[in-house]
Chain A
């Protein structure tokens, strides 16, 4: 079974530029998550989709971050404009469905973003 795919793996941009990350979840997984992981910290949930609807985006900085999951499969996360403090690893995860009592999340390898 293929895992969660993410691209690119690494990205370096200047502050105020824009950047986009792509995620392809495990086939059949209804729930998709984007996390931000700053160096030395645990992952922090940015946004959660159930199919193509947003379930939780309470920690997404909506003035600069946006995400979509058209057709309920692939997802993109965009930052525009980027700030220095956005330097982090962006992780995508997927699961069968959040309403399962033992819903297990599976993570992709992440995209390491460096903002100069």
Chain B
């Protein structure tokens, strides 16, 4: 199963775009990239997922590089409520498991 690497923490000013990077250099061709976030004392919340193409939904955008070895989650206008731990996960094509790392702790500053 492919592993992911994320920065431990990031700060972002309220109203600005938050760009959260993730490296997944061992990803296989049919493995999807998923992003979740976990707000304090809650279960992880699904944000977005993608395979090759960039994806956008009401919460965020996902940019995947052409070689698929890295991706960036973009929160276009961060608010204080976006303060959370963000997890980048590659869903294994063989085991279908999610393997969580320690994620990126994003703090949105007023």
* A residues apposed to B, CB below 8 Å: 4, 40-45, 48, 56, 91, 93, 98-99, 101-110, 112
User: Are A42 and B46 neighbours in the complex by a CB distance under 8 Å?
Assistant: no
Which residues from chain B contact A98 at a C-beta distance below 8 Å? 96
User: Are A103 and B45 neighbours in the complex by a CB distance under 8 Å?
Assistant: no
User: Are B49 and A108 neighbours in the complex by a CB distance under 8 Å?
Assistant: no
CA distance A103 to B42 in the complex (A): 21
User: Are B43 and A109 neighbours in the complex by a CB distance under 8 Å?
Assistant: yes
User: Are B96 and A43 neighbours in the complex by a CB distance under 8 Å?
Assistant: no
Q: When A and B form their complex, which 7 residue pairs have the shortest distance between CB atoms, in order from nearest?
A: A42-B100, A107-B43, A98-B96, A107-B44, A43-B100, A110-B43, A109-B43
CA distance A44 to B49 in the complex (A): 20
A29 to chain B, nearest CB (A): 13
B18 to chain A, nearest CB (A): 19
Contact A41/B102 with A48-B97, A101-B30, A102-B32 known, Cβ cut-off 8 Å: yes
A43 to chain B, nearest CB (A): 5
In the complex, per-residue mask of B10-47: 1 if CB is within 8 Å of any chain A CB, else 0: 00000000000000000000101010100001111110
Which residues from chain A contact B91 at a C-beta distance below 8 Å? 103
CA distance A104 to B57 in the complex (A): 15
User: Are A42 and B103 neighbours in the complex by a CB distance under 8 Å?
Assistant: yes
Contact A43/B32 with A56-B97, A99-B96 known, Cβ cut-off 8 Å: no
